[in-house]
């Protein structure tokens, strides 16, 4: 029998609608939230404005779930951990480090605010616990989880109480098996091992988890590098693996994979997972683009090294 889960999420505006190639409007985020937030679990949400608080409460009230909804307004999230943000900004402002990253146009390379907000996930859970809003097993779920209907069909029945008998550890979800690659190599090549969209753990471990995250960020920024939550989660895991449980998964599938088996896959997700000619062509196209990115990356590194005088 699964155990009940309290869900914590947040929406802090980062002006993503202006990011070329990574555009997503505030309205899109809210529409994505409305798909999965039909769940009957208690949901605790952190937002920046009373307007967004009212929208969330109104939506949940329409589902008769307002008594299982708590919304906290944080007018300026930079006030939460200003030193953490300053360390990330110092790295983002250094144009040299960008040329050493494989995909230098990705927001985690140049946008300190994006990285900072991604790293506040554990803080939100800890704050909810300290306020007494949550207890027992608590899950972080990205506000835009499932992207409005991909991979889980948006017409699926989300009106259920999500539960699963997770281990009494910080449960992380991996997209590939972990290995011993140095962190700097993973950060520069922008590979991903642990996904940050869903994190689940018992109340007694979240404070320690948040401390591990902050330690990892400062260690990374002291080396002149920064990243979003994914590789920081890997660093935290390596510091104290005994408090973690790892689960092989994929982007945004966790709710269906662990406890919501009745949910349906979207047609677009099924199309890319079937061993069809179309899928093979997509894989080839992605590989070709990656090769092009790698060539540009190699040229940038060569240009840097060619400027160094060897005595």
Residue 292 has pLDDT above 80, yes or no: no
Residue 283 has pLDDT above 60, yes or no: no
Residues 250-262: pLDDT tens digits? 999 999 999 999 9
* Alpha carbon distance 80, 166 (integer Å): 30
In a 10 Å sphere around its CB, with 0-12 CB exposed, 13-18 middle and 19+ buried, how is residue 274 labelled?
exposed
Confidence (pLDDT) at 149 = 92
Residues 6+ positions from 224 with CB-CB distance below 8 Å: 91, 94, 97
Confidence (pLDDT) at 59 = 98
Confidence (pLDDT) at 294 = 64
Residue 126 has pLDDT above 90, yes or no: yes
Confidence (pLDDT) at 21 = 66
- Cβ atoms within 10 A of the Cβ of 100, count? 17
Confidence (pLDDT) at 105 = 87
Q: What average pLDDT score do residues 74-81 get?
A: 97
Residue 186: helix, strand or coil by DSSP? helix
Confidence (pLDDT) at 15 = 74
Residue 215 has pLDDT above 80, yes or no: yes
Confidence (pLDDT) at 4 = 82
* Alpha carbon distance 310, 282 (integer Å): 44
Residue 284 has pLDDT above 90, yes or no: no
Residues 5-25: pLDDT tens digits? 999 999 998 876 676 666 678
Confidence (pLDDT) at 269 = 78
Residue 2 has pLDDT above 50, yes or no: no
* Choice among 116-125, 137-146, 248-257, 278-287 with the minimum mean pLDDT: 278-287
Confidence (pLDDT) at 268 = 77
Sheet of strand 137-141, all strands in order from the earlier edge strand to the far edge: 69-73, 43-47, 6-11, 137-141, 194-202, 170-174, 244-248
Residues 35-56: pLDDT tens digits? 999 999 999 999 999 999 999 9
Residues 219-248: pLDDT tens digits? 999 999 999 999 999 999 999 999 999 999
Return the CATH class of domain 3-264.
alpha beta
- Cβ atoms within 10 A of the Cβ of 28, count? 15
Confidence (pLDDT) at 51 = 96
Residue 297 has pLDDT above 50, yes or no: yes
Residue 71: helix, strand or coil by DSSP? strand
Band (311; pLDDT cuts 50, 70, 90): very low
Confidence (pLDDT) at 289 = 57
Confidence (pLDDT) at 25 = 86
Confidence (pLDDT) at 219 = 98
User: Where do the structural domains in the chain lie, given as residue ranges?
Assistant: 3-264, 274-311
Confidence (pLDDT) at 286 = 56
Between β-strands 163-164 and 170-174, what pairing exists: parallel, antiparallel or unpaired? Answer: unpaired
Are 17 and 25 within 8 A, CB to CB? yes
Confidence (pLDDT) at 18 = 74
Residue 278 has pLDDT above 90, yes or no: no
Residues 86-119: pLDDT tens digits? 999 999 999 999 988 988 888 999 999 999 999 9
């Amino acid at each position: 029998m699964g155990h009940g889960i309290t869900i914590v999420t947040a929406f802090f505006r980062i002006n993503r609608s202006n990011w070329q190639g990574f555009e997503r409007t505030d309205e899109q985020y809210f529409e994505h939230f409305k798909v999965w937030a039909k769940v009957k679990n208690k949901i605790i949400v952190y937002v920046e404005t009373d307007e967004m608080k009212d929208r969330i409460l109104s939506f949940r009230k329409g589902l008769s779930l307002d008594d299982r909804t708590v919304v906290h307004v944080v007018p300026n999230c930079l006030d939460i951990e200003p030193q953490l943000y300053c360390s990330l900004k110092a790295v983002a402002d250094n144009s040299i480090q960008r040329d050493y990253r494989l995909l230098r146009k990705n927001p985690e390379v140049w946008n300190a605010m994006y990285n900072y907000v991604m790293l506040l996930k554990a803080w939100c859970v800890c704050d909810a616990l300290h306020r007494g809003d949550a207890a027992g097993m608590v899950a972080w779920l990205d506000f835009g989880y499932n992207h409005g209907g991909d991979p889980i069909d948006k017409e699926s029945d989300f009106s259920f109480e999500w539960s699963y008998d997770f281990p009494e550890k910080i449960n992380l979800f991996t997209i590939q098996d972990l290995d011993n690659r140095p962190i700097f190599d993973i950060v520069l090549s922008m590979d991903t091992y642990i996904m940050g969209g869903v994190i689940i753990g018992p109340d007694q471990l979240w404070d320690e988890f948040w401390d591990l995250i902050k330690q990892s960020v400062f260690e990374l920024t002291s080396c002149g590098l920064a990243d979003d939550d994914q590789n920081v989660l890997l660093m935290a895991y390596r510091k104290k693996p005994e408090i973690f449980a790892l689960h092989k998964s994929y982007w945004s599938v966790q709710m269906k994979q662990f406890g919501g088996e009745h949910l349906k896959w979207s047609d677009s997700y099924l199309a890319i997972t079937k061993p069809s000619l179309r899928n093979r062509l997509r894989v080839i196209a992605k590989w070709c683009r990656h090769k092009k990115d790698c060539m540009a990356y190699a040229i940038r590194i060569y240009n840097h090294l060619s400027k160094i005088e060897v005595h």
